Amino acid sequence: MTSHLQHVDPEIFNAVQEETERQNARLELIASENFVSLAVLQAMGQVMTNKYAEGYPGRRYYGGCEFVDVAENLARERAKRLFKADHANVQPHSGSQANIAAYFSLIQYGDKVLGMNLSHGGHLTHGSPVNFSGRFFQMFHYGVGRDGYIDMNQVEDIALREKPRLIITGASAYARKIDYAAFRDIADRAGAKLIADIAHPAGLIAAELIPSPLPHCHLVTTTTHKTLRGPRGGMILIGKDQENDMGVLNPKGKLKTYSEIVDSNVFPGFQGGPLMHVIAAKAVAFQEALQPEFIDYQKQIIVNAQTLAKALMKRGYDIVSGGTDTHLMLVDLRNHGITGKVAEAALERAGLTVNKNMVPFDDQSPFITSGIRLGTPALTTRGMKGSEMEMIAGFIDQVLLNSADESIQMQVRRDVADLCSLFPLYNH
Ligand code: DSN
């Protein structure tokens, strides 16, 4: 396949080669990234990309869908088994697409919504003013307390005062378990529906290493490419499907089920043709996630994150909330006198890829920030364990203590390349 690409478009071929080399020779610490298996990679690069399949298996608007139906049915059934869900919609092209369809399944334009503050670990689609969520809905935000844990008293106060129609929980830079039962209790008392966005910890939840929101939420949204280690994409899950209590009727005048509402909001509500090659790759990733080894892999992700967090704290770094229960951590750099922006750039030069990130109560803008977010899914996929996490904490410390010293960054870059060469990617 790649020889065709080389011949037809050498510029793209070279960019792919260089990206492959970048992934191989650097340490990937972006908490939302991972490396898919060769089987998932192969399932994405195949002829199902040619097929239009608007609709759902058995009910398509195009002929010739019998084989893509096999792929989508497998993806749906495996997702349901993996998350103990009554229903899975595997068509959302991304986590944001999943969220917009989920919002409009439960509420209307202009309704009140309570979500986590982006600067405290929330996500753009949880009400940022520059995103559809902040533009289409009247947003209210909760955050973490000074201890770095979600302030459930604040959630309750705002919910009971403002009576939002929806609460969305979940985060993209929060390292602790979330008490979904407590969120549901507050949602019920406020008269709100509840969505959990598990884009980040989906793999840990599938492996049952942290609690699942499915028994407590009306809808659960996720991406498939972070801890879950599948292709880039989204999904909506329903723990217990039932007739809706919002008065939404089907054409026969009967109450629609939540799954019917979700399916019609994904297509035709917000999307057209599903990406059938990606759905095939989702099915492969879910099959991999149903194997016993996946649980060991997810356990190692958490152990690695905890080892890295401890090793950094030992060197004087301030980890928000004092550690992690999951795959990620937020490092508050204010006691080191450097910004997230400077840290990200210095680490990049040294071969460690991270992202700058706001920390709770940050006094810097989102373009500068006072912190970095680190995650271990990608390192763990490469086979790295505790001793490598100790080494990596040492690399980070060396670079951040000398963020203007390019010779140290070059030395660390060589050490990083040596370490990476012991854990090659896609080498068979
Ligand atoms: N961009 C993702 C992340 O890095 O967490 C969330 O969408």
Q: How confident is the model at residue 3 (pLDDT cuts 50, 70, 90)?
A: confident
Q: Average model confidence (pLDDT) for the chain?
A: 97
What's the average model confidence in pLDDT over 144-161? 98
Which of the residues 169, 221, 222, 223 is marked catalytic? Answer: 223
Q: How confident is the model at residue 169 (pLDDT cuts 50, 70, 90)?
A: very high
How much is the pLDDT for 427?
72
> Looking at the predicted structure, is the pLDDT value of residue 428 above 80?
no
What's the average model confidence in pLDDT over 64-88? 98
> In this structure, what token pair is assigned to residue 85?
């869900």
Atom of ligand 1 nearest to the CA of 33: 4
Instruction: Please determine, looking at this structure, whether the domain spanning 43-289 carries the CATH number 3.40.640.10.
Output: yes
- Residue of the CA atom closest to atom 2 of ligand 1: 32
Task: Show Cβ contacts of residue 188 under 8 Å, excluding neighbours closer than 6 positions.
Answer: none
Which of the residues 76, 176, 193, 232 is marked catalytic? Answer: 232
Q: Select from 28, 30, 32 the residue to mutate for testing ligand 1; criterion: most ligand atoms less than 8 Å from CB.
A: 32
Judge if the beta carbon of residue 95 lies within 6 A of ligand 1.
yes
> In this structure, what token pair is assigned to residue 189?
């008392």
pLDDT tens digit string along 81-94?
999 999 999 999 99
User: What are the φ and ψ backbone dihedral angles of 26, each rounded to 5 degrees?
Assistant: -125, 165
What's the average model confidence in pLDDT over 41-66? 98
Share of the chain above pLDDT 70, in %: 99
- Residue of the CA atom closest to atom 5 of ligand 1: 172
Judge if the beta carbon of residue 172 lies within 6 A of ligand 1.
yes
Atom of ligand 1 nearest to the CA of 223: 7
Share of the chain above pLDDT 90, in %: 99
How much is the pLDDT for 1?
55
User: Is 226 an active-site residue?
Assistant: yes
pLDDT tens digit string along 192-248?
999 999 999 999 999 999 999 999 999 999 999 999 999 999 999 999 999 999 999
CA of 124 to the centre of ligand 1 (A): 9
CA of 236 to the centre of ligand 1 (A): 17
How much is the pLDDT for 314?
98
190 bridge partner residues: none
Q: Select from 33, 99, 172, 329 the residue to mutate for testing ligand 1; criterion: most ligand atoms less than 8 Å from CB.
A: 172
User: Is 52 an active-site residue?
Assistant: yes
Nearest-angstrom CA–CA distance, 13 and 59? 38
From the CB of residue 62, how many other CB atoms can be counted at a distance below 10 Å? Answer: 12
CA of 407 to the centre of ligand 1 (A): 32
Q: Give Cα 351 distance to the centre of its chain.
A: 23
Which of the residues 226, 282, 356, 413 is marked catalytic? Answer: 226
Contact, 7 vs 200, CB < 8 A? no
Atom of ligand 1 nearest to the CA of 95: 7
Give the residue carrying structure tokens 């759905």: 279
- Annotated domain spans of the chain: 43-289, 298-421
CA of 168 to the centre of ligand 1 (A): 16
Domain spanning 298-421, CATH class: alpha beta
Angle at which helices 386-401 and 340-349 cross, to 10°: 110
Judge if the beta carbon of residue 122 lies within 6 A of ligand 1.
no
Q: How confident is the model at residue 2 (pLDDT cuts 50, 70, 90)?
A: low
Which of the residues 28, 72, 197, 362 is marked catalytic? Answer: 197
Residue 158, CA distances (Å) to 115, 196, 262 in order:
10, 18, 27
Which of the residues 52, 310, 353, 415 is marked catalytic? Answer: 52
Task: Give the H/E segment covering residue 193.
Answer: strand 193-197
pLDDT tens digit string along 392-424?
999 999 999 999 999 999 999 999 999 999 999
DSSP helix/strand/coil, 28: strand
- Residue of the CA atom closest to atom 4 of ligand 1: 32
